[in-house]
Structure 1
Amino acid sequence: MSTSTLDAVRERGVLRAAVSRGIRGLSLRGDDGRWSGLDTDVARAVAAAALGSADAVEWAPTDPAQRLGRLASGEVDLTVCNVSWTLGREASLPVLFAGVTCYDGEGFLVRADSGITRPEELAGRRVAVQAGTTSAANLASWYGGRGLAVEPVAYTTPGETLAAYADGTCAAYVLDRVALAGERAALDDPAAHRILDTAISREPMAAAVRDDDPAWFRLCRWVLQLLVSAEHQVDEVGEREKALAQAAETAGLHGPAVGLDQDWAARVLAAVGTYADVYERNLGPATGLAVPRGLNELWTRGGLHYAVPLH
């Protein structure tokens, strides 16, 4: 089966992927020019499946307000840009979310010496948010329901938002808690800042595609599902290489039906590994972020990632 998007991607020779302008752990351009992060690994996985190379990606750094607009307009083929899957977004834009990449929730970054330990203690203060995100609406809902209010101040880019918090213009930085871990690490003295324990919303960050190409949607969805299912397979079999080979063979058989060859799954797993590998590489202890997997564990360990069968 061929898809118009897949044909265009192959003719172009690269997958165009919208990512953030720079959030450590999710999508960040290094000094060597290489992008890294959980979101970028998802894009690489799609490129490995569709084009045979995980490096065949043209990165499109995008402000939060334009993450889905650039996708809808045809500027990019895939958006993996710490964007939450919501009914409002699918209802108002010609996009579909292909699957959750990271379960998260809106949180607060504050100065460790501020004495603030609960969101309620920010009532009446200015808080920095990124324009084009759900942060302002989440704040209004959470604080309004408690008869309280904060003053959200919106900035166009993550860099501007972090700067407004860092220079004291705002008492807190409000963003998904996984993303805040990366933003905290970018500060001069990360230890002088803390992320509050409370999350005030549900933020399933997801990969998105246009809604005019069901076959491309199916391809991207199953690339993401492969990462989770392969992790489950490793747990079940116990022997990593054997488990990955089994997952790749089972999924590979269906490649021609989704516009791919039978080696697509093997390429994906060789390029980025399982979901556990992607998470550990970008958010694990060795990164300095050490974001606990929590809801991003497999369902067998109390998380929300459920391995859809590959057979």
Structure 2
Amino acid sequence: MSTATEVNSVAPRAVSAPSTAPTLAGVRARGALRAAVSRGIVGLSQCGEGGRWSGLDTDVARAVAAAVLGDPEAVEWLPSDPAERLDRLVAREAELTVCNLTWTLGREAGWPVLFAGVTCYDGEGFMVRADSGIEDPAQLAGARLAVQAGTTSAANLAAWYGKRGLAPVEPVTFATPAETLAAYASDACVAYVLDRTALAGERAALPDPWNHRVLDASISREPMGAAVRDDDAHWYRLCRWVLQLLTAAEHHVDEAGPGRRAEALDEAARLAGPHGPAVGLDEEWAARALDAVGTYADIYERNLGGTSGLGVPRGLNELWTRGGLHYAVPLH
């Protein structure tokens, strides 16, 4: 077994992306990355003042744009309904989908797409009125629940309530997040069902968020991921490693300790940089991505953590060293 020092000293092979890598060539010719995002969920992807998009999903796209084009703002945002998130990717309207989209076998087997990695570990949850007295999903048996079309919510509800012998709920489907939230807010539905992270943002969008709460329980596993088409291995590899870089850089900062953040980020960029030519990038790609959005911890805190005002605990989205599921794949 090689020691860490020996492994780190091994120079990468002189490999470069073939000239036939079509997605990268198309993005560069256009001068912009086209990214399918949600139509507006606080903390994930939302268009704010001045037309600037913000959120965890949009920061992932910015990291890819910084690595590929040298400009994190060189992104053409494609707001998409849940039902069309993969359609736009397959139709070549987008090169990347980061749209609170759950990575499932059904999606990857049934569509010509691949998931480049997990952007956020989540679970199906319920938003209810704070004075409803509802503390557990079982209390919603038989109720009308608002869900978004094109999501896994209806199937998750049927599975969860069916296995427990509870009265089936009535999922009422709406095309967009705005329509779903409006139906819940108007009392047309008892609860709003969506990934818990997304529900935190939807709750914040209500005029009276303090009158609503997201139940602690989750009824499913929802690893949200970044998706690409399956016909370009180099683009898939490029997006996967931009995403891995964000987690690995956080690990480097953690290991370096207080006061050594800049040094740790430089080290992460130094290790990852020489592998850029293998996917058609230069050796500064990693430094650009980290300069643009920071580490995964920075992205989460800025968009979902205390700094964002949402205060969503990291939970499973912590590094594995802190009890979470994000495992930093080595960059050397």
If the length of structure 1 is used for normalisation, what is the TM-score?
Answer: 0.99
Displacement after TM superposition at 1:128 (Å): 0.2
Displacement after TM superposition at 1:43 (Å): 0.2
**Alignment correspondent of 2:175:** 156
Question: Cα deviations across residues 104-133 of structure 1 (Å, max 9, x unaligned)?
Answer: 000000000011110000011100000000
Matched, 1:115 2:136: no
**Alignment correspondent of 1:176:** 195
- Which residue of 233, 257, 262 maps to 1:241? 262
Matched, 1:267 2:288: yes
**Alignment correspondent of 1:68:** 86
- Which residue of 31, 39, 46 maps to 2:64? 46
What letter is aligned with 2:142? G
SS of corresponding position for 1:54? coil
Q: How much is the aligned-residue C-alpha RMSD, in angstroms?
A: 0.5
What letter is aligned with 1:243? A
**Alignment correspondent of 2:206:** 187
What letter is aligned with 1:293? R
Question: Cα deviations across residues 17-37 of structure 1 (Å, max 9, x unaligned)?
Answer: 000000000000002110000
- Which residue of 276, 294, 301 maps to 2:297? 276
**Alignment correspondent of 1:77:** 95
**Alignment correspondent of 2:10:** none
What letter is aligned with 1:161? T
Question: Cα deviations across residues 153-191 of structure 1 (Å, max 9, x unaligned)?
Answer: 000000000000000000000000000000000001101
The unaligned stretches of length 5 or more in structure 2 are 1-16
- Which residue of 223, 228, 232 maps to 2:242? 223
- CA distance, structure 2, for counterparts of residue 287 and residue 47 of structure 1: 23
What letter is aligned with 1:131? A
- CA distance, structure 2, for counterparts of residue 118 and residue 43 of structure 1: 36
**Alignment correspondent of 2:185:** 166
**Alignment correspondent of 1:89:** 107
**Alignment correspondent of 2:24:** 6
What letter is aligned with 1:91? A
Aligned-pair identity in percent equals: 74
- CA distance, structure 1, for counterparts of residue 157 and residue 232 of structure 2: 35
Displacement after TM superposition at 1:73 (Å): 1.1
- CA distance, structure 2, for counterparts of residue 173 and residue 109 of structure 1: 5
- CA distance, structure 2, for counterparts of residue 64 and residue 268 of structure 1: 28
**Alignment correspondent of 1:288:** 309
SS of corresponding position for 1:194? strand
- CA distance, structure 2, for counterparts of residue 205 and residue 228 of structure 1: 15
- CA distance, structure 2, for counterparts of residue 213 and residue 257 of structure 1: 14
SS of corresponding position for 1:276? helix
- CA distance, structure 1, for counterparts of residue 305 and residue 134 of structure 2: 27
The unaligned stretches of length 5 or more in structure 1 are none
- CA distance, structure 1, for counterparts of residue 43 and residue 197 of structure 2: 8
Displacement after TM superposition at 1:286 (Å): 2.1
**Alignment correspondent of 1:25:** 43
**Alignment correspondent of 2:7:** none
- CA distance, structure 2, for counterparts of residue 257 and residue 134 of structure 1: 36
Question: Cα deviations across residues 35-85 of structure 1 (Å, max 9, x unaligned)?
Answer: 000000000000000111000000000000000111011110000000000
- CA distance, structure 1, for counterparts of residue 34 and residue 107 of structure 2: 21
- Which residue of 170, 193, 196 maps to 2:215? 196
**Alignment correspondent of 2:156:** 138
**Alignment correspondent of 2:229:** 210
**Alignment correspondent of 1:127:** 145
Larger Rg: 2
